[in-house]
């Protein structure tokens, strides 16, 4: 690749990016809010589940293996 062709290729790339970005179906504000709340809710549920599993295993280990 020659250095001389670099600016021309860069300009072509940026034009193609602009064309493709116009084709993107962007979510609405309400959809973005809804998806964000779903992700936060799922994260909280997974965190509670993993915390409960950790608590159970810690209790079992302390009770039967470490006998504290």
Encode pLDDT of 13-42 as tens digits.
Answer: 999 999 999 999 999 999 999 999 999 999
DSSP per residue over the chain, as a string? --GGGHHHHHHHHHHHHHHHHHH--PPPHHHHHHHHHHHHHHHHHHHHHHHHHHHHHHHHIIIIIS--
17, containing H or E segment: helix 6-23
pLDDT tens, residue by residue, 45-58: 999 999 999 999 99
Examine the pLDDT at 66 and tell me if it is beyond 80: no
d(CA 20, CA 22): 5
Say whether 24 sits in a helix, a strand or coil: coil
> Confidence band (pLDDT; 50, 70, 90) for 11?
very high
How do the domains of the chain map onto residue ranges? 30-68
pTM (2 d.p.): 0.64
pLDDT at 64 over 90: no
């Amino acid at each position: 690749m020659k250095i001389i062709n670099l600016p021309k290729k860069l300009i072509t790339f940026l034009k193609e990016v602009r064309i493709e970005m116009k084709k993107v179906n962007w979510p609405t504000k309400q959809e973005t809010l809804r998806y964000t709340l779903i992700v936060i809710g799922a994260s909280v549920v997974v965190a509670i589940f993993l915390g409960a599993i950790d608590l159970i295993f810690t209790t079992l280990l302390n009770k039967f293996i470490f006998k504290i």
